[in-house]
Amino acid sequence: GLDPVQVSSFRTHLSQSTRIVTIIGAGLSASSGLPTFRDINGLWCNHDVFLIASPAGFRRDPGLVWQFYSERRRAALRAGPNPAHYALVNLAKAKPGFVALSQNVDGLLQRAGLDENPKQLKLLHGNLFDLACAGNCGYVDYDNFVDPLCEVLSEGRVRASVMGADVAEGEKPPKASALLFEGIAKKNKKILGEEKFAEAAPTARDAAPLTELGQEVRVPEAAPELYSGIEKAELPQCPGCGENLLRPRVVWFGEALPEDVMEDVDALFKEEKVDLAIVVGTSSQVWPAAGFCEEARGRGAKVAWVNMSEKDCKNAKKEDWVFLGDAAVILPEILN
Ligand code: BV8
């Protein structure tokens, strides 16, 4: 269980706080059954991040990208909010100064009721259920929960093809050629040990390090089997301009976060004092979200960390609260 002294001092500060900023990552939805990105067998460990989460990857093979995101839409639709989502919604109702800065695109906070007051929820990396014109004609289809979006994105095909090649019914799909971040591969190898790592993360070549901020993400000419074989004409088309595909309205590597969201975040950290920042279920590796905790601290915030692993609370200072464990257990305990 949690340290009662820590919990009571946190709750005292919480009761006196008006401006509360929560910085949220995939760990919040882990107990809803949705995979995170950088944990063992996370999304980035079994998929080639450059091929499915970058503009260059979408140009190279939009079918592969759509299969990855179609599978994530389906999983999110089948999942439900967990007690951590509801604990945050209850806090938002009690504290008008509450705001969630969420990196998650799964829509679970909205389904738990946070969407009613958009001022309290900022979607930093977009939303799986908003579709946009891939050619930026301006067309956006908000809250599209249609599944499958088209025949080639129906369930059976998606799973097999995401692995880069269709396999006959019942056969195991070939090992995905996973391009892992070096750091992730090393981390997993350390945790698992050589032999278990080899079976847990399929053929992991050293990832090409992410290019610097804003540069074109280099997409390595990965093995030819990593093409979906899906024709553009089979994918969702933009009804706005009739010339481009639709894409999931999420922020890929090398893409700027939504302008309106960034303006709101900048204003938040410029205008006023922050009393409390709560960093939940994020490895704090992706920028600019990874810098928001220090921004809040710079505005006077005290900081609380909720994470399954201590190593991901690396930016914690000695005066911070650090609550280790499942957010779905901890948040109800410390917030309600
Ligand atoms: C940009 C697509 C600029 C959406 C993703 C310096 C400054 C700015 C940018 C950069 C920079 N240096 C490098 C960059 C580039 C890059 C970056 O940050 N690279 C890093 C990796 C080195 N940043 C970008 O490209 C960003 N764009 O800054 O653009 C710009 C400006 C102008 C013009 C052009 C460009 C774009 C970032 C968005 C990338 N998109 N994915 C999707 O598919 O979802 S990344 C991916 O990581 C997701 O978006 C996700 O939201 C994000 C963060 O991951 P986490 O949520 O933290 O998940 P993770 O698995 O890592 O961690 C889970 C945590 O939960 C762990 O700590 C675990 O212990 C914990 N946990 C697990 N279970 C539980 C739990 N905790 C509690 N309870 C549990 N049960």
Tens digit of each residue's pLDDT (9 = 90 or more) over 34-44: 988 877 656 66
* ipTM, interface predicted TM-score of the complex: 0.95
Q: Is the pLDDT of residue 221 over 70?
A: no
Question: 302 or 170: whose pLDDT is higher?
Answer: 302
Question: 226 or 283: whose pLDDT is higher?
Answer: 283
Ligand 1 pocket test target in 2, 37, 41, 109 with most atoms within 8 Å of CB: 37
Question: 42 or 126: whose pLDDT is higher?
Answer: 126
User: For residue 148, is the peptide bond before it cis, meaning its omega torsion is within 30 degrees of 0?
Assistant: yes
Ligand 1: which atom is nearest the Cα of residue 105? 44
Q: Give residue 285 CA to ligand 1 midpoint distance, Å.
A: 6
Q: Is the pLDDT of residue 184 over 60?
A: no
Per-residue pLDDT averaged across 189-200, rounded? 62
Q: Which residues are part of the catalytic machinery?
A: 125
CA-based torsion, 279, 249, 32, 51: positive or negative: negative
Ligand 1: which atom is nearest the Cα of residue 31? 80
Q: Is the pLDDT of residue 70 over 50?
A: yes
Per-residue pLDDT averaged across 7-35, rounded? 97
Taking the complete model, does pTM exceed 0.95, yes or no? Answer: no
Which residue's C-alpha comes closest to atom 42 of ligand 1? Answer: 250
Residue type, 25: G
Q: Give residue 133 CA to ligand 1 midpoint distance, Å.
A: 23
Largest CA distance in the chain: 61
Confidence of residue 272 (pLDDT cuts 50, 70, 90): confident
N- to C-terminal Cα separation, the chain: 16
